[in-house]
Amino acid sequence: MKKVVPLPVFHQTNRGRIYHADSLDVMATLKAESVDLIMTSPPFALTRKKEYGNEQEQEYLDWFRAFASGFHRILRDNGSLVIDLGGAWKPGAPVRSLYHFKLLIMLCEEFGFHLAQDFYWWNPSKLPTPAEWVNVRRIRVKDAINTVWWLSKTEWPRASNRRVLQPYSSSMQLLLANGYKAKLRPSGHDISTKFSIDNGAAIPPNLLAIPNTESNSSYMRYCQEKGIKAHPARFPADLPEYFIRMLTDPGDFVLDPFGGSCITGEVAERLGRNWVCVELVQDYLDGAIGRFKYPAAERAPAKSGGEDGYYKLPRPSLLWNGPDPIALDEGGGRKRPAAMTKTKSKPIVGPDFVPPEAIRVAMRGKSK
């Protein structure tokens, strides 16, 4: 039997450890069924190479297999594996890669994981990308979500949505105040009188609205002070906090095998969980030290999303009025326009057509 050699610790706190190492080597030192939650965001299979070492799409599944095997071995039977993955576009074409769906299927069919639930992280502050398809050729809308797969070894992992309840929306508060008439909906759902009971908070959906705007955190200030380059692909603290709260108890063990700037460890430390973060790039870990030299005592309050903390999404038809203003390109945008402000398509106008700019002006007037 091969002897497991302990690895040197890069940084240690009262509850956790950071390793500057390969996570496969670190996982080999952990006992089987010893981890309650693996919360991570691995390098995405982007078609354009990034500085943080992402794998190409065609190699991604083979690269991930060794990690999947390690995850399954060290995870408790009632524990959870949560993976945040951004999507990718195929090179040179406005069509999507299927790598993150293939990874999900591989984890379930080859390694015996179950999909407890699929989540979608919507970043309200995300820029309109990819620019070529969204801004130049105008044939796609901006890509603003990541998929977050919540997986488990059993069909019954430990979990409680009571840990992640959210305040009632203003419309729900109004319904509770005015009452609701129990009735059968056209969909077949029988809405009983229990629907109008005030339970104090609402059960959240599997759409997580979290802006990634960490511009003035202690981590960023530390990196600036020390001249350290911040990790370019950090997820916001609210993302790991959501799953750490819902899926673990204080004192449980949380692992992030692709630790980056170790924000998972920072949140786990604050919430009283034991943790380990692993990262190959030392520059990222040099910055991560700042998270523990100047730790946050609690979660920073949201600075956006309105007074009630809710982000507002416009109805898809908000600017639709009259005939469609621009004829579709028969080539589907295959040819790049000569200039972003020009188009060969002729506007379609009619007596009911109102230019979008006129609608925007009218809407601004109503909001005053």
User: For 202-228, what is the mean pLDDT?
Assistant: 85
Q: In 223-365, which ranges are E strands? A: 253-256, 274-279
User: For 147-176, what is the mean pLDDT?
Assistant: 88
113 and 72 Cβ atoms separated by less than 8 Å: yes
Q: Which residue has the higher pLDDT, 63 or 188?
A: 63
User: For 205-226, what is the mean pLDDT?
Assistant: 84
Residue 345 has pLDDT above 90, yes or no: no
**Which amino acid, 333?**
G
Take residue 168 and report the two structure tokens written for it: 């009632």
State the Cα–Cα distance between residues 49 and 57, nearest whole angstrom. Answer: 11
Residues 6+ apart with CB under 8 A from 232: 50, 51, 52
Any bridge partners for residue 145, and if so which? 122
pLDDT of residue 201: 76
Residues of the chain above pLDDT 90, percent: 52
Residue 186 has pLDDT above 60, yes or no: yes
Q: Which residue has the higher pLDDT, 318 or 134?
A: 134
User: For 151-162, what is the mean pLDDT?
Assistant: 97
Residue 348 has pLDDT above 90, yes or no: no
DSSP state, 219?
Answer: H
> Is the whole-model pTM more than 0.85?
no
- The model's confidence at residue 212, banded by pLDDT at 50, 70 and 90, is confident
pLDDT of residue 109: 98
Please give the C-alpha separations between residue 197 and each of 170, 192, 209, 308, in angstroms, as whole numbers.
15, 10, 26, 21
pLDDT of residue 300: 57
- The model's confidence at residue 341, banded by pLDDT at 50, 70 and 90, is very low
Which positions are catalytic? 41-42, 84
* Residue 195 neighbours by CB distance under 10 Å: 14
Please write the tens of the pLDDT for every residue from 50-99: 554 445 777 899 999 999 999 999 999 999 999 999 888 888 899 999 99
pLDDT of residue 46: 52
User: For 194-205, what is the mean pLDDT?
Assistant: 74
Q: Which residue has the higher pLDDT, 339 or 294?
A: 294
User: For 220-243, what is the mean pLDDT?
Assistant: 89
